[in-house]
Amino acid sequence: MFGLVVRFTCKDEASAEAFDRLVAETVDKIREREPGTLVYATHRVEGRPLQRIFYELYRDRAAFEAHEEQEHTKHFLSAREEFLASVEVDWLELQAGKGTAGE
């Protein structure tokens, strides 16, 4: 299993709304076209209206790389830049869990 957490900070409220629309379009395509993407959860952060957190789990590194090569992902990666003030990525190493290969 391969995972990451991404924290996005949008520039302003209008950017956050546009970013959310872009995310919704992208997630629909991930659901339809990416069997190796096990979890792709997007979250708003309570009390921080400009922040978004993504939690992503892939079957393995190859599934993540396949995700990165999809046209919808490439579009998301290029289009998101105009809405964001910052992006932080944490790469995850599974230790234990429920509903994962570590259970």
CATH number of the CATH domain containing 67:
3.30.70.100
Within a domain: 75: yes
Model pLDDT, residue 48: 98
Position 103 in a domain: no
Using CA atoms, how far apart are residues 10 and 85, in angstroms rounded to an integer? 5
In a domain? residue 47: yes
Task: Name, in order, each residue with C-beta under 8 angstroms of 68's C-beta and a sequence gap of 6 or more.
Answer: 74
**Residue numbers of the domain that contains 48:** 2-92
Low-confidence stretches of the chain (pLDDT beneath 70): 100-103
Q: Return d(Cα 74, Cα 65) in angstroms, integer.
A: 12
Question: 42 in a domain, yes or no?
Answer: yes
What's the number of domains the chain is made of? 1
Q: Is 48 inside a domain boundary?
A: yes
- Residue 96 has a pLDDT of 87
**pTM for this structure?**
0.92
Distance between CA atoms of residues 30 and 26, nearest Å: 6
